[in-house]
A and B are shown apart, each in its own frame.
Chain A
Amino acid sequence: MTPHVHLADVTLDYPVLHQSSRKLTREILRLATGGQLDRSEPRKVTVRALERITTRLEVGDRVGLIGHNGSGKSTLLKLLAGIYAPTSGTVSREGVVGSLLDISLGMSPDATGRENIYLRGALQGLSRREITRLVPGIIEFSGLGDFIELPMRTYSSGMLLRLAFSISTVLSPDILLMDEWLAVGDEEFQAKAEARLHEVVSQTAILVIASHSASLIRNQCTRVIYLEHGRLIADGTPDDVLPMYFTNLE
């Protein structure tokens, strides 16, 4: 099967759970008294994060997501990743999805660098055998040397990010999701990381990247989706769509 993501009429409502609606005791009291005691707040508040989105992402698509904060970019990324399910409409997805959203999630400060490679690798869906095969390459790329056998809490924040980056970018997924471009480490590592990231991006079948940078999108994307208030305002080439959002393009 060729990788793709097809969204058909997708709407996503996000329940807003305020303090009082999170108390079971209160719900029970409400039920027991038939709602007589407490009418102060509406029962259920939802926010419409995405509204009737229909689009097809196919092999070769390099999609830039643009829009103001709260326009639904992150929600759409999470929907594409399979973290959120739509309230209505359908999502059909084929292919391995990978995201570079939080690359150090799940790593343990008391575990050694090597153990963290296994930990992080497992969370990324790799089998133990696959990870073992990839370990030498990851250690080499991270440039951590003998530090790899020490607990991660002895690392500087830069070293930690270098390790996390090296693990996260070791394989190219079919569908790659990013929230802004990833830049890590000191100057020397940054150049290396930049090259690796370009390699990963070029090998992935479908790229979706949310960004506030017009130049990034111009450099990386062949297609731009413009969201506003959860609605798809425009979907087209960067030349057509970017001027609609970025009013002062150079």
Chain B
Amino acid sequence: MTGTASLTAVPAPLRTLSAAWRVLALSFYLGWQDVRMMYRRSVLGQFWITLSMIVTFAAIATVFGFIFASPVIEYLPFLGCGLVFFNFLSVLLNEGTVAFIAAESFIRQLALEPIVYFLRTVWKTVFVLLHNLIALAVLFVFFPQDLSAATLLAVPGLVVAAVGMSGLALALAMLATRYRDVPQIVAAVVQVSFYLTPIVWLPEALPAPVRDVLLAWNPFTHMIGIIRDPLLGLPPSAPTWAAATGLAVVFVAAGAAAYLFKRRQLAFWV
């Protein structure tokens, strides 16, 4: 039977905690299943994700090692963190935006709360990140950083960035299901953001006026900053935290509002 027990029996599912829990548990399970299936037919399974990230690090270390000769020891952990977390946030945005479109047949056939399919994508992206964190740990073994209690700030940083970007992705997902050119716009903006965000280049390399404008107005800078800075042993920056947290609140509010007001339209839009 394609209906669901508690979800269809309750008029407004998200009103009850148990229904919300079921939504979370179901999406978690589906997301995990997606990651497992990704590399099912290969020997390494999902650890291909880890391996390909390590290979990327090694390749860049080699090339840049020759170009810059020495600063690789400082540069590579910076680049590694930037790559892993930008990859995480950009996939969250890109795949989150098309989450409902990709779940078209589900939304048309099942009476599940549609946010299940969005959260499924979020969880899947989180699981991929966990595999990439292993690669990052390997990198940190070769390029040890000064770890202290402040390093732990990376955890709340990651949570704020992940939740905030998920909120934005949910708002975009609602828009994208109605207007089908949104995914292309999002993909283009995300791609450009990679070059406008200090990931490959160090912020100090830019002249001050350009840098201030470029960094201040780029959400990725703040979101990545609050995760990367603690990992590199940098002191927490109040403006970065304020910007990231503020953005996260606005994004989540936008996503929640878009979903709650328009979720009943999704079955007609897909």
Binding site for B on A (CB under 8 A): 14-15, 17, 22-25, 27, 78, 81-85, 93-103, 105-106, 108, 110-111, 115, 119, 122-126, 128, 151, 168-169, 171, 173, 175-177
Contacts and interface: CB of A to CB of B under 8 A. Distances in A.
Contacts of A99: 1-3, 109
Interface stretch (B25-33, B152-160, B220-228, B251-259): B25-33
A81 B180 contact: no
Contacts of B269: 15, 17
Contact of B5 (A82, A96, A106, A110): A96
B3 A81 contact: yes
10 contacts: A24-B179, A24-B185, A25-B185, A83-B109, A83-B110, A85-B264, A95-B9, A96-B5, A102-B105, A103-B2
B268 A82 contact: no
Given A24-B181, A25-B181, 4 more contacts: A85-B264, A99-B109, A123-B4, A128-B29
Given A23-B180, A122-B26, A100 B33 contact: no
B262 to A, nearest CB: 11
Contacts, number: 119
Nearest to A93: B8
B37 interface: yes
A173 B111 CA distance: 14
Interface in B199-218: none
Nearest to B111: A82
Interface of B: 1-9, 11, 22, 26, 29-30, 33, 37, 40-41, 105-112, 175, 178-182, 185, 264-265, 267-269
Given A23-B180, A124-B1, A176-B1, A101 B9 contact: no
A173 B9 contact: no
A98 B112 contact: no
A137 B182 CA distance: 46
Contacts of B111: 81-83, 97
Contacts of B265: 15
A176 B179 CA distance: 35
Chain A to chain B: the 4 pairs with minimum beta-carbon distance, closest first: A98-B1, A125-B4, A97-B3, A24-B179
B36 to A, nearest CB: 8
A98 B37 CA distance: 27
B7 A125 contact: yes
B267 A125 contact: no
Nearest to A49: B268
Contacts of B9: 93-96
Given A105-B106, A119-B33, A22 B2 contact: no
A125 B5 contact: yes
A234 to B, nearest CB: 27
B106 A106 contact: yes
